[in-house]
Amino acid sequence: MSVRKIQDFNNDWSFIKEALPLSEAELARGESVSLPHTWNAIDGQDGGNDYHRGLCWYVKRFARPEGEKVFIEFQGVNSTAQVFLNGQFIGQHEGGYSTFRFELTGLLQDENVLCVSADNSPSERVYPQFADFTFYGGIYRDVKLISVPESHFDLEHFGSAGIFVTPRLEGKDASVQVETLLTGVKPGQQLRLQITDKSGQVVAEKTQTAGKTSFEVSLPDVHLWNGKDDPYLYTAHAALLCDGAILDEVSATFGVREYRIDPELGFFLNGRSYPLRGVSRHQDRLGKGNALSREDHEEDVKLIAEMGATYVRLAHYQHDQYFYDLCDQYGLVVWAEIPFISKYLPDGNENAISQMTELIKQNYNHASIICWGLSNEITMNGEDERLLAFHRELN
């Protein structure tokens, strides 16, 4: 019996800035790098618009990890990634701003070589391709190795955490629906939900058979998430049990709030007028490109809050999960969006839908998010019925 283990996988990578065949990339002597990393930190910021766009390789060697099932998690690779383990293709992900995972279990050996190609070349089907910002190439967010037992919370559902919390305000109380996604469940296993308040006290609890994966519990006299004035958060903890022992567990912070938008009077949060004044934020830094540290994200949110903003638009793509967490904690209202921008790609519909699905599935629990943005400046190259029809589909 084992429980989930999450290993930082950011160190000891070899970077090869050349579109080699896989067999040569495995053996190449590259530059030693740690993640997050981008190859456009300098040439993507000099104003020349001639930064390197192409396929580059990241290679890492590692010993077989413990665990019945082993997954690799990438929190952002721009913009198309292909992953190979011990010379075998594992999977491909298109879209540079969202989390994705692949299972490694069946191909693991005592000693392993993981090869990842990152490709920010121009494309006719992967957004974005036309915009006034740099499409930094690289594995520019964290990478994790996740080991779980055979029975576990699903790791392959659009990069989500496998837990979705929907609170609904009912007077002074709240009804909280929690849906979980499980895989490999066996007879006799149980699912336990605990909701804790800001101090860590359990305020609601329920246990049921693991064959039933959704819960509904009540929070009496609920404490609201009230923007910057009082960004109060609860946490939902879901645990998969076998004979009382925890096999796997996941958690999600959430806030209880209501909002509405009046075309004449503006934005209302929990029944009171709450004007939205704020900024648009990109995920890059001078000399670093988009390969930001946690400290960079923290400094950004502190600056936004310090200037008196109540709102932030996270342009033009899905941002780091940690930054959405910070917005929850600081009480900033968020507009979240995908990089469906500037020019419509007739061959890009599937990718835009995929990125929208990942944005929502991965960020479903954030109290700060009040809008999923469909597109941005998309009529710069004109508009036609195809574009309008696709907006309706995205919506």
**Residues tagged active-site:** 377
Q: Is 158 exposed, middle or buried (0-12, 13-18, 19+ CB in 10 A)?
A: middle
Sole residue written with tokens 């936004």 = 304
Question: Side-chain half-sphere of 62: how many Cα atoms within 13 Å?
Answer: 22
Contact criterion met (CB below 8 Å) for 233 and 226: no
Q: Is 249 exposed, middle or buried (0-12, 13-18, 19+ CB in 10 A)?
A: middle
List all residues 6 or more positions away from 139 whose beta carbon is below 8 Å from its beta carbon.
13, 35, 36, 37, 58, 74, 76, 77, 81, 116, 118
Contact criterion met (CB below 8 Å) for 358 and 318: yes
55 forms beta bridges with: 119
- Comparing CA positions, the residue from 327, 329, 366, 372 lying closest to residue 353 is 372
Sole residue written with tokens 């921008």 = 341
